Structure formats: structure tokens, C-alpha cells
A and B are shown apart, each in its own frame.
Chain A
């Protein structure tokens, strides 16, 4: 009995180190396995070191231990987590894609590089956080299978002399593999340090915004049409007509970067596109750029948030004779610019297919706004038809909502026909982005 207690006590002492210095050390058997499995050039990393994290060998051993022992719940796939790598297979996959790991400083501008399955970790790698280092190793491993980067067409890497982006998430390249790992750590990880998890969430969000030339969450263009009696709006997507609750507020139907809002001149109220909450409560839209509204001086005449690829613009008109652009880099509104026309309304799409921002006066004259240099051009050759309320597009067709409340489809011949998916009489019509990351509930 006593012997059993002594033996169990010894085992306990081995399993749970109590000194900080001991606690942080890597098990020697595990270290030897990592060195063998990944053919680590130990001398290049500063020699075998199991405890001192200042030594790069210890950093790499930590990284591989996290890869091996990180545990994830398995719920299913989503936009970020697509099962590119099995949740319980990171170690085996990484091993299969790694023919050797070396430490060098021959390419100071790089964090690491992969040459035919041999990774060379640079000084930049050694300076990274644990998460950054693990992400780098996983990232590099994907290159072994031939996945390469392309130039960045947007974001902070745009214009860089080297290729640093992947075209899409679906390509399943190095960036996607890395993002999938961060997403798993964030929402499915069970045994990661809280600081590691927080960093994974922020790193995933930050990097996924700019390392893919096409956004991770892709969007479709749907139609949102507000009924004349303001009872609901019809969301039309994939040829399905789905009724959606609308805030019971008097206002203009406006497109935003996240969907649609009812805009009262002082506030924007979100329209829930993805489900009916049956709350009968108006929820202020704080997600789109309508949050930039300056309400202090009372209601504004109009506000638009629109894209002229690849840039987004937000514009407010405090009255019908002035316009003001938001300066994103500085986070402030630029100076108010007076107009030499009295604007009756604005539009972001014309019947001939032109998009952007257009100012329309009482005679129907249409003035294009040059968003890049923030000037207003001379009147276009076409006039706004007074029988038109709004213009939108659906699967390449031009749709026109007219004052009779009916949506018409413009045919190739130039004639118009009642649009078959317009089931009601409507007061307003917009295009709305519908993101494929979220399920649209019927």
C-alpha cells in the first residue's frame, strides 16, 4: 500500500511540474520525435534547447507541440472552416509536407520560405508571436503541394514587389489553410491559452481582409423591394421571393455595404435580410457606414454609401445644395462643397446601366459625381424619367420601379414587361448584397 502511494506520488510529480522553469520545458522524448519527424537542423536553430524560449529551437519545439496537441471540437464546416486540413490531422499533414526545417537569414524581407518542402525560417519568424510562428509553419507547408501566391490587387500588400496574396479562399492555398487554422482555434479550440485564442481571432479577421484578392465571404446581388403599405419588404434572391420585416419608420430605402436600411434623415434602421426576428423593434444600423452620419445639425437631406471599385465612398448632403465626402484615411468629413444646382433626389444607378452617384434636379437633369476627385460634372445627355422611382439590376436585367408601384423589366428590344418576381405593389426598390456566409431563412 505504502509502496503504491510512493510510486503514484512519483508519477504525479512527473506529470505535474510545479516550478515555472520546469513547467515551460519541452519533454525530451517529444523533442526528439519533432526533430526526427520534421528533420530539424537543430544547430542552425541554436542547438537543442528544451526550456529557454529565447533559443529558436525551443520556439520551434513549442510550435510543433501546439500543432500536435491542439484540440478542436468538430461541429462542421463553414465559410472559413472547410476541412482543407482535418481538425485532428494537423500534425500528420504538416509532417507529410515538410522535408526539413532550417534556420537562415538569407532573405531578410521574408518571414520564411519553402524550397521544395524544405523550410527556411528567417529572423522575422523568430520575432513573431507563438501564433504568428505556428501560422507561418502551417502556411509554408501548403506551398509544398505547389500552391503559389499572386500579386495583391487590394489591401496593404497591394503594389508590393513580391506576390503575397491568394486569388480566392476556395483556391485553398497557404492563406486559406492558415485562416482555417485561426478560425478553428477561435471557435472550436478547447485547450489553447486565452491570449493565443484572442490573437487568433484578431489575426484571422485582420488578415482575411487583405490576403485574398476576392473577399472570403462572397456576396450575391439580391433585390429588396418595400411594399407600398410598408407592411414588409420582399427580398428576391435566387428567384425566390422571401418576405422580410421592416422597421416601422418613415424613411427612404437605402442600400448599405451590409444589406439595406430605412433612412429617416437622422437615423438608419437595419432590415434583417437573413431571418424574421418578430421583434417589432427598430434596430439602428451600426454596421454600415451610416454610423458616420453627423446628426448634430438635424436631419440631412440625403446620405449614400456606395462603391466605385475598388473604393468605397460615403457622402452626405446636409441640404439640397451641398455635398460632403467622408475622408476615410483621416476619419473625418471633408469640407462641405456647395453645388450650383438644386438637387431633387440622388440615384446610384441609371436606366442605361451607369453606376456611381448621380444628382438629379427638378427638371430631371442628371449630374454625375466624380467620386475620385469629388467634383460634379455637367449634365448627362439623358434625363431621369419622372415615372421612374428606382432602378436596380437582377441577373443582368435592368429593373424599373415606376410610380404605379409595379416593377418592370427592360427587355433587349428596349420595350418593358412586368417583372414576374415582383409580387406586390412597391414604394421603393434597391439592390442589396446578400452574403453567402449567412443562411437566408424562409
Chain B
């Protein structure tokens, strides 16, 4: 009964939406001008009864701040790094699992990868490698979901060089990532990170920032 009601409601709204707005679309993937049923659930891809471990609960709580303004981002980074330093090998495994779970919110997943690098634990290297080499589901690419998957893996590569005292291990891991990945973006990132670890170049993050700052300097001269 409720279902029938929802269907009728959706049809009415869909017809109303069409007459309200019968214009040609210019969106990224515009194909049809018809609107159909509107969602009545709020999170279609996330399990309603999602049970979170204490670690995931904290991850979710911290990740909810990613979507908020931050008056003191440096303090936030220090606080997150302090938390990351306390993470155990088991918790790093849990974070890896969370990072690769496409049903979890992307803010949670990205923060999980950053925490793994910030942990400065040698064990995190393998977790980050697993993420960098995890195959991107072809279903997710090419679109924004696929772009996020690629960016997540780029961060995993960047994060490896934050782990202190593991120079040779990091170099070996990056070589392995560069040689094994089928994604040229990840391979290029791994080569840049490798050059950084070997003392031949600045970190990819520094390279990104310096390139952008150089561009700004140029405009200041004008």
C-alpha cells in the first residue's frame, strides 16, 4: 500500500517536474529531459543498518568535519596526526579496509588514507601499497566516482614517503607500484615519489605546490 502510494506520488512529481522544467539540459551527461521517481530514501548506496566499529565511528566523526569550515587547519592536522600516531597494526588494517570500501563515504575513505600515512608506522607501507594497487572497478570509471578512486590512490602513493626510517623499503615499494599498476597516472605519481625518496627531487606534494606558487609569482610580476 505504502509502495503504491510512493509510486503514484513519484509519478505525479515526475510529471509536474517535466512541465515545470521542460528545457534542454546542458549537464555533464545530459541525455533525457524526463524526470521520473524522486528518491525518498536519503542514502541509496549505504546500508541502512551499517554497524561501525569504534575506529570507524571516530573516523566518521572526524570525516564529518571535512565538510565544515576550519578556522585553524594547522591545529586540525596536528590533532589528526596525534591520533594517527596511536594507531595499531590492526587498526591500520581496518583503515585499509575502510579506504577500499566503495560503499563508505568518500570523506571517510580519504581521511583513512591520510591517517595511515600520518601514523608513521612501517606496517602502513604495505597498507598504502595495497590501496595504490587496488584495481579501480571499471564500473566506476570514467566518471567522478572513478576520478575519486584515482585521487585516493595518488594520495596513498604520496603518503608512503611520509613514513620515516623506511627509505629502502619505500623505494622498493614505489618501484613495485610503478611497475605493477595499469594506471599511468598512478605510475607517474609513483615515479615522482621514488625520485623524491632517492633524493633526486622534491616530494610530489611539494612539486604540486611549487608549480602553483611559481605560477602565482609570474602573475605578480606582471
Q: A residues near B, CB below 8 A?
A: 20, 23-24, 43-46, 49, 53-57, 59, 62-63, 65-66, 69-70, 75-81, 100, 102-107, 109-116, 118, 120, 123-124, 126-132, 136, 139-140, 143, 146-149, 156-157, 160, 162, 164, 174, 183, 186-187, 191-199, 201-203, 205-207, 209, 284, 286-287, 291-292, 328-332, 437-439
Contacts and interface: CB of A to CB of B under 8 A. Distances in A.
List 8 A-B pairs, minimum CB-CB distance, nearest first: A113-B27, A116-B23, A129-B106, A78-B215, A46-B42, A130-B67, A286-B195, A110-B29
Contact of B191 (A186, A199, A291, A329): A291
Given A24-B65, A201-B205, A292-B191, 7 more contacts: A23-B68, A55-B43, A56-B42, A78-B219, A115-B30, A130-B66, A209-B185
Nearest to A156: B142
B216 interface: yes
A207 B154 CA distance: 12
A112 B145 CA distance: 13
Q: Which of B39, B63, B110 has the most CB of A within 10 A?
A: B39
B67 A78 contact: no
Contacts of B180: 331
A199 B113 CA distance: 11
Contact of A107 (B29, B107, B209): B29
Interface in B7-51: 13-14, 17, 20-21, 23-46
B67 A66 contact: yes
Contacts of B53: none
Given A207-B147, A332-B179, A193 B32 contact: no
A139 B30 CA distance: 14
Contacts of A70: 69
Contacts of A147: 26
A62 B209 contact: no
Interface of B: 13-14, 17, 20-21, 23-46, 61, 63-71, 73-74, 76-77, 80, 105-107, 110-111, 114, 141-148, 150-151, 154-155, 158, 178-182, 184-185, 187, 191-192, 195, 200-201, 205, 208-209, 211-222
28 contacts: A24-B65, A62-B67, A66-B69, A78-B215, A78-B219, A105-B39, A106-B14, A111-B29, A113-B29, A116-B25, A130-B67, A149-B28, A162-B28, A174-B28, A187-B212, A187-B216, A191-B69, A191-B70, A192-B69, A194-B77, A195-B63, A197-B73, A199-B110, A203-B148, A207-B147, A284-B200, A287-B201, A330-B182
Given A44-B39, A80-B212, A329-B184, A129 B143 contact: no
Q: Which of A24, A112, A127, A195 has the most CB of B within 10 A?
A: A195
Given A46-B42, A203-B151, A112 B215 contact: no
* Chain B interface, DSSP helix/strand/loop, else mixed: helix
Nearest to B39: A105
A438 B32 contact: no
A104 B67 CA distance: 22
A255 B201 CA distance: 20
Given A136-B144, A187-B212, A126 B43 contact: yes
B27 A192 contact: no
Contacts of B40: 46
Contact of A127 (B37, B45, B63, B141): B45
Nearest to B80: A194
B156 to A, nearest CB: 11
B191 to A, nearest CB: 6
A162 B31 contact: yes
Nearest to A149: B28
A63 B67 contact: yes
A174 B13 CA distance: 29
Contact of A143 (B27, B65, B111): B27
A156 B146 CA distance: 10
B24 to A, nearest CB: 7
A330 B28 CA distance: 31
Contacts of A439: 214, 217-218, 221
A113 B111 contact: no
Nearest to A44: B38
Contacts of B215: 78-81, 437-438
Contacts of B14: 106
A164 B143 CA distance: 9
B219 A328 contact: no
A397 to B, nearest CB: 28
A31 to B, nearest CB: 14
A139 B143 CA distance: 14
Q: Which of A45, A130, A132, A183 has the most CB of B within 10 A?
A: A130
Contacts of A110: 27-31
Nearest to A49: B42
A106 B35 contact: yes
Nearest to A41: B38
A115 B29 CA distance: 11
Nearest to A52: B42
B25 A113 contact: yes
B8 to A, nearest CB: 15
A76 B45 CA distance: 42
A115 B27 CA distance: 7
A206 B107 contact: no
A212 to B, nearest CB: 14
B167 to A, nearest CB: 16
Given A147-B26, A203-B151, A78 B38 contact: no
Contacts of B154: 202, 205-206
B23 A115 contact: yes
Contacts of B76: 193-194
Contacts of B63: 195
Given A24-B64, A115-B33, A149-B28, A54 B42 contact: yes
A115 B68 contact: no
A54 B67 CA distance: 13
B150 A206 contact: yes
Contacts of A127: 45, 105-106, 145
Contacts of A139: 28
